[in-house]
Chains A and B, each alone.
Chain A
């Protein structure tokens, strides 16, 4: 059985290598966008997918904005705690990590309420349907430039849904493991959560928790990098809109002008933001 030491080294090596590979792959992908003309159409011709539904409400935008800021802070401070890459600052970085952690946990709770408990209940936009699964290969083929367009089944495609849905359990794991590692003394006590956990699962148990926390951190870094790249290259207006840097032009409030192919397999699971489905108009080959 692999030991804790070896496991940590493997995680370091695998993910740092993987990250370099991903950055190179994404650069290659952007080069593919240039070769196929997608980049020119989007960034020069400013032809982006039309956006269906009403404007994104302020609350999810606000939550997303906070989440981004806190996750960046968590990523940097967390990596600094493990790999101190400049002089001093560990105590400061630990505080940054703690505060950002609280922000992310509060955000997560509010976002889950928004998804399941609020009036909008937008969880339906993220549900992976059977048709999502059957059309997944075509989405992948689109992203690797084999197909000129991807099937459109809703606001998000299978890749997006999969990633966003995966974020939730990962965040929960990260929150739980992070709290288990929390070294701050609990109020009115001289004991920290970490010490309590160590009492329950032993010191080496805490190190396995730490390793899990570190592993999930890498998953976030990898997934977020891909997410940011695709957000910018596939739908820059939506990306800017999410950060309040511009407002989406929504000439087609109803579904059908989003730029993706509507084939026979296409049908919507449900309206996005309460919009009604309308017959779609296949979009011309984009390549």
Chain B
């Protein structure tokens, strides 16, 4: 008798554990606190005989999202039940923020076989999300840095460069930027700030890689606006800004992960390393005069402005434009 009671209790517990997720799946997300009845039929072996027991239990639904059944999960199907919905939004700081994740983008990315929780590690085993999200943007930072779990070499280089979250030796500020830096006051970028999130192209995705190549000025210029704006020399910058795929993106000269200040002896754009850096494209074309010519890469505008004839012509053009504007304003009045 005692055994039968014990078996019944065990069976009931198992039934709840097994059937409950299915019940949640069947039920739409709701804010209702109703307690639907859950019935499970289970065959339970005992020492004497095999018995079939039926368990009925009322289970309270959570007041917000019923996602418990989805997590932990090894795939994306669980998360995408909600995040695959274009209408999934959240009000954050008075603004409506979309929580939609485009499944097609994800499936075309390099990480199409990577579970969501491999990057969003803090979401694994933790639902509902409110407790995580209410902490602020920490979950974003965690996701943006989660690349290190797989891409260890790149992460090692990254942390030894100027973009390292820990800063450079002797740097005690929380941002990259001293006022005289190229990105004053900017937070150090995490992996995801440059590489993006769900749509990171695979090595086979030529179009995606070209899109990343084309985004360099926008990507790096987000912090280094001065340098990206000055990238306007004859053969590199102008071509790049015009969309030429054979023109170098920022990282082709400045390195991708181990980005270092030009003054650093290890920097690719350190004067001592320029022959090798430029030589990757200009093999056999490098000497001192060539390198001097390279000063145009980021300083073309400045050098033009210093040209007296250019300055005079520009002044004349400005004066002429002012005159035209004055005449126009007369007619406008």
B249 at the interface (CB under 8 A from A): no
A207 CB contacts on chain B under 8 angstroms: 289-290, 293
**Interface stretch of the complex, out of B97-105, B126-134, B237-245:** B237-245
A198 CB contacts on chain B under 8 angstroms: 284-285
- Which chain A residues numbered 178 to 213 have a C-beta less than 8 Å away from chain B? 194-195, 198-199, 202-204, 206-207
B310 CB contacts on chain A under 8 angstroms: 9, 13
A55 CB contacts on chain B under 8 angstroms: none
Q: Is the CB of A87 within 8 A of B293?
A: no
Q: Is the CB of B295 within 8 A of A203?
A: no
Q: Is the CB of A204 within 8 A of B290?
A: yes
B292 CB contacts on chain A under 8 angstroms: 3-5
Alpha-carbon gap, A124 to B256, bound state (A): 64
Closest CB-CB distance, A208 to chain B, in whole Å?
8
**Interface stretch of the complex, out of B18-26, B55-63, B154-162, B301-309:** B301-309
Closest CB-CB distance, B91 to chain A, in whole Å?
41
A17-B309, A204-B287 are known contacts. Are A82 and B235 too (CB-CB below 8 A)? yes
B241's nearest neighbour on chain A, judged by CB, is A84
Closest CB-CB distance, A144 to chain B, in whole Å?
24
Alpha-carbon gap, A270 to B314, bound state (A): 51
Q: Is the CB of A5 within 8 A of B284?
A: no
Q: Is the CB of A203 within 8 A of B304?
A: no
Q: Is the CB of B244 within 8 A of A90?
A: yes
**Neighbour of B245 across the interface among A9, A10, A82, A88, CB < 8 A:** A88
Closest CB-CB distance, A256 to chain B, in whole Å?
48
A89 CB contacts on chain B under 8 angstroms: 244
A82-B235, A83-B234 are known contacts. Are A4 and B242 too (CB-CB below 8 A)? no
B239 CB contacts on chain A under 8 angstroms: 84, 90
B286 CB contacts on chain A under 8 angstroms: 203
Indicate with 1 or 0, residue by residue over B214-248, a CB within 8 angstroms of chain A CB atoms.
00000000000000000000110011001111110
Alpha-carbon gap, A199 to B310, bound state (A): 35
B204 at the interface (CB under 8 A from A): no
A17 CB contacts on chain B under 8 angstroms: 309, 313
B296 at the interface (CB under 8 A from A): yes
Q: Is the CB of A203 within 8 A of B234?
A: no
**Neighbour of B287 across the interface among A6, A12, A202, CB < 8 A:** A202
**Neighbour of A203 across the interface among B235, B242, B284, B309, CB < 8 A:** B284
A17's nearest neighbour on chain B, judged by CB, is B313
Alpha-carbon gap, A195 to B287, bound state (A): 13
Closest CB-CB distance, B312 to chain A, in whole Å?
9
Q: Is the CB of B307 within 8 A of A13?
A: yes
Alpha-carbon gap, A207 to B238, bound state (A): 19
A14 at the interface (CB under 8 A from B): yes
Q: Is the CB of A204 within 8 A of B234?
A: no
Q: Is the CB of B234 within 8 A of A82?
A: yes
B236's nearest neighbour on chain A, judged by CB, is A84
A13 CB contacts on chain B under 8 angstroms: 304, 307, 309-310, 313
B246's nearest neighbour on chain A, judged by CB, is A90
Q: Is the CB of B288 within 8 A of A87?
A: no
- Size of A's binding interface in residues, CB under 8 A: 30
Q: Is the CB of A9 within 8 A of B238?
A: no
Alpha-carbon gap, A51 to B289, bound state (A): 54
Q: Is the CB of B243 within 8 A of A9?
A: no
A146 at the interface (CB under 8 A from B): no
A9 CB contacts on chain B under 8 angstroms: 303-304, 307, 310
A13-B304, A13-B307, A203-B286 are known contacts. Are A5 and B295 too (CB-CB below 8 A)? yes
Indicate with 1 or 0, residue by residue over B243-260, a CB within 8 angstroms of chain A CB atoms.
111110000000000000
A82 CB contacts on chain B under 8 angstroms: 234-235
Q: Is the CB of A10 within 8 A of B290?
A: no
Alpha-carbon gap, A85 to B238, bound state (A): 8
B285's nearest neighbour on chain A, judged by CB, is A203
Closest CB-CB distance, A150 to chain B, in whole Å?
34
- Which chain B residues numbered 261 to 316 have a C-beta less than 8 Å away from chain A? 282, 284-290, 292-293, 295-296, 303-304, 307, 309-310, 313
Alpha-carbon gap, A8 to B295, bound state (A): 12
- Which chain A residues numbered 1 to 27 have a C-beta less than 8 Å away from chain B? 3-6, 8-10, 12-14, 17
A5-B303, A10-B307, A13-B307 are known contacts. Are A87 and B234 too (CB-CB below 8 A)? no
Alpha-carbon gap, A198 to B235, bound state (A): 19
A8 CB contacts on chain B under 8 angstroms: 234, 293, 296
A44 at the interface (CB under 8 A from B): no
Alpha-carbon gap, A10 to B313, bound state (A): 13
Closest CB-CB distance, B305 to chain A, in whole Å?
10
A91 at the interface (CB under 8 A from B): yes
A17-B309, A83-B234, A204-B288 are known contacts. Are A6 and B242 too (CB-CB below 8 A)? no
Alpha-carbon gap, A86 to B286, bound state (A): 28
Indicate with 1 or 0, residue by residue over A73-95, a CB within 8 angstroms of chain B CB atoms.
00000000011111111110000
A10's nearest neighbour on chain B, judged by CB, is B307
Alpha-carbon gap, A13 to B314, bound state (A): 11
B282 CB contacts on chain A under 8 angstroms: 203
Alpha-carbon gap, A83 to B285, bound state (A): 21
Alpha-carbon gap, A87 to B247, bound state (A): 11
**Neighbour of B242 across the interface among A14, A86, A202, CB < 8 A:** A86
Known: A14-B309, A203-B287. 6 other contacts (CB 8 A): A3-B292, A84-B238, A85-B242, A203-B284, A203-B289, A204-B288
- 11 pairs of residues in contact across A and B, judged by CB atoms under 8 Å: A3-B289, A4-B292, A9-B304, A13-B307, A84-B244, A89-B244, A90-B244, A195-B285, A202-B289, A203-B284, A207-B289
Closest 8 CB pairs of A and B: A204-B289, A87-B243, A84-B239, A203-B287, A203-B285, A203-B290, A13-B310, A84-B242
